[in-house]
Amino acid sequence: MKEKVLVKLGGSIITDKSGDCAINHGRLSAIARDICAQNGNSLILVHGAGSCGHPEAKRHHLDIGLDQHNRQGIYVTHHAVRALNDAVVSALRAHGAEAIGIHPLDACVANNGRIISFECGAVELLVQHGIIPVLHGDVGMDRSRGACIISGDQLVRYLPQVMLIHRIGLATDVPGVLDGDNSVVQRIDRDSARDLTIGTSGNTDVTGGMRGKIEELLALADSGITSHIFHVSRLADFLAGRDHGGTQVCPTGQD
């Protein structure tokens, strides 16, 4: 059966997060090859902002909200993440995929930092016609704050609740969620997550890093949806449905 697969590319794997919008075109090309070689499943792609967006959002304090002094930050931040999105789409198209960018600023409304509406009809239709919609972390308009950051991880949580998606995977720069001994934790649920110690990145990240990912995926698990975290080098394995050596985030009590 043809599956609908949602893949999120971490910003740290497609940019140098210590730089300023330093796009890793070589890594993007390798990812695009893996995606174009996959077995014909329908794909929705989401990517993080990395160094193309996080520094701009932080400089303009958009993680706090919007006022008359930082309105220009909406353009500056969106311009940066859109440049990265264009690079991702271009890499896919260069390897033979039909792909197009979808920008959350255009389609999402948030309240207190959380998406409350997102018109997904275009995403559904693109997938039906064999085109890969490429969404991304973005600045968004917010009913209570004026503006907020809509992370790629929040999109990963939101989309499966309004669309039928069969499998969800997050490709990262680590082999999965790591414990105190740097060993991969193979399975996490709401109960076991309480005992986890999760580190934070030293680079600028206004969306919570790995801790933010886990929180979003545990919320998905609470609604019965399993997701996967793995190293980007195992993307082809995940797309093919093979073991990826990473972490599953599961509903509590699921075997």
* Domains of the chain, residue spans: 4-249
What average pLDDT score do residues 192-201 get? Answer: 66
Residue 81: per-residue pLDDT: 96
Report the C-alpha gap between 129 and 82 in whole angstroms. 23
Residue 51's φ and ψ, nearest 5 degrees, are -85, 0
Kindly report, residue by residue over 117-132, the tens digit of the pLDDT. 999 999 999 999 999 9
Residue 201: per-residue pLDDT: 42
Residue 205: per-residue pLDDT: 44
Where in the chain does DSSP place strands (E)? 4-9, 15-16, 22-23, 42-47, 99-101, 108-111, 114-118, 132-136, 138-142, 146-150, 167-172, 187-188, 227-231, 247-249
Report the C-alpha gap between 74 and 11 in whole angstroms. 19
Place of tokens 């490429």: 134
CATH entry 3.40.1160.10 includes domain 4-249 = yes
Is residue 168 scored above 80 in pLDDT? yes
